[in-house]
């Protein structure tokens, strides 16, 4: 609990300092300076990994036309500056070929810099679902927070935090598909809890057949039902005869291989997956 309180005080002081500088956007005496763009290094604690190129290009054009309306926030380093807040503005300014950029220079610790990068992005809704989940997880681990304590700190509901953190249970293919917008958060929530191979199979089907969340719910229900039927039987049969099943798969144009009591099916396209799933559903 003490760590949660310390987080709140330190972060509040930092945000107040930055907001005060924004509200008093006057020359150097109020903390705003023109610094060389080339001397600003990215924040090593930036939780946001993905920046939309089209959005950055639009911001760059706006900066060319109207100038940078809101300064970035940096801290001084040995041979330049480290960015604390405003990575989109910095990237867009580089695209706009600016040599200098308006900046607020503050004195903060590495821990404060890390906290601010996480919470600024969370509060501004600038993270995709996976980056957001990782940001939540990082704050929880750094400060040993409960979901309720994190909820109070970042002003998000406890349910939203818990549901977002569950997305980290996706396999790597699922995380990438969600980041790329190929599946929705609704799709993702349905397949959480399945084996990685089962997740991959359903993700291919979602993408290949444009399945709705409802369609995926039905698929997952069948998979879980099938598993619950087979579970009591596991271990009863030392050797299973797959000949008839392999023959049926061959008629469907599918290749399979058998090892002990396991049968592996090789799919070469989304179409084959769709045919296989349609046969199961019939």
Annotated active-site residue in 87, 111, 126, 195? 87
Question: Per-residue pLDDT averaged across 140-167, rounded?
Answer: 84
What's the pLDDT tens digit per position in 64-115?
888 887 888 888 888 888 888 788 888 888 888 889 888 888 877 777 777 7
- Chain centroid to CA 80: 30
Confidence of residue 29 (pLDDT cuts 50, 70, 90): very low
Q: How confident is the model at residue 268 (pLDDT cuts 50, 70, 90)?
A: confident
Provide the pLDDT confidence category of residue 278 given band limits of 50, 70 and 90: low
Q: Where is pLDDT greater, at 137 or 112?
A: 137
In tens, the pLDDT along 37-56 reads: 888 888 776 666 677 788 78
Of residues 87 and 191, the one with the higher pLDDT is: 191
Say yes or no to pLDDT of 230 above 60. no
Which of 3.40.50.12160, 3.40.50.150, 3.90.1530.30, 3.40.50.720 would CATH assign to domain 1-169?
A: 3.90.1530.30
Whether the pLDDT of residue 256 is over 70: the answer is yes
Q: How far is 121 from 133, CA to CA, in rounded Å? A: 12
- Give the CA distances from residue 103 to residues 32, 69, 76, 265, in Å, rounded to whole numbers and listed in that order: 5, 11, 11, 58
The pLDDT, as a whole number, for residue 259 is 75
Q: What is the pLDDT of residue 95?
A: 87
Q: pLDDT category, 136, cuts 50, 70, 90?
A: confident
Determine the pLDDT at residue 229. Answer: 45
Torsion of CA 5, 10, 16, 19, to 10 degrees: -120
Domain ranges of the chain: 1-169, 172-281
Which residues is 101 bridged to in the sheet? 35
Do 12 and 20 form a contact (C-beta atoms < 8 A)? no
Six token digits for residue 95: 């695209």
Task: Decide if 87 is catalytic.
Answer: yes
Averaged over 172-194, what is the pLDDT?
A: 89
């Amino acid at each position: 609990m003490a760590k949660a309180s310390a987080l709140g005080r330190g972060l509040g002081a930092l945000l107040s300092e930055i907001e005060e500088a924004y509200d008093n956007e006057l020359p150097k005496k109020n903390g705003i300076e023109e610094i060389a763009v080339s001397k600003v290094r990215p924040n090593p604690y930036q939780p946001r990994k993905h920046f939309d190129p089209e959005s950055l290009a639009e911001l760059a054009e706006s900066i060319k036309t109207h100038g940078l309306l809101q300064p970035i926030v940096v801290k001084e380093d040995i041979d330049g500056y480290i960015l604390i807040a405003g990575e989109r503005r910095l990237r867009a300014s580089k695209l706009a070929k600016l040599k200098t950029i308006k900046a607020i220079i503050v004195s903060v610790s590495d821990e404060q810099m890390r906290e601010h990068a996480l919470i600024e992005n969370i509060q501004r809704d600038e993270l995709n679902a996976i980056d957001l989940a990782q940001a939540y997880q990082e704050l929880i681990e750094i400060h040993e927070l409960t979901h309720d304590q994190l909820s109070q700190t970042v002003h998000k509901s406890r349910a939203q935090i818990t549901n977002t953190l569950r997305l980290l249970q996706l396999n790597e293919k699922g995380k990438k598909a969600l980041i790329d917008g190929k599946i929705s958060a609704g799709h993702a929530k349905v397949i959480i809890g399945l084996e990685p191979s089962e997740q991959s199979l359903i993700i291919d089907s979602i993408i290949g057949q444009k399945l709705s969340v409802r369609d995926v719910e039905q698929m997952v229900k069948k998979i879980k039902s099938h598993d619950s039927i087979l579970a009591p039987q596991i271990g009863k049969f030392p050797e299973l005869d797959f000949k008839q099943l392999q023959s049926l798969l061959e008629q469907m144009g599918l290749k399979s291989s058998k090892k002990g009591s396991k049968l592996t099916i090789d799919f070469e396209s989304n179409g084959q997956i769709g045919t296989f799933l349609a046969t199961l559903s019939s």
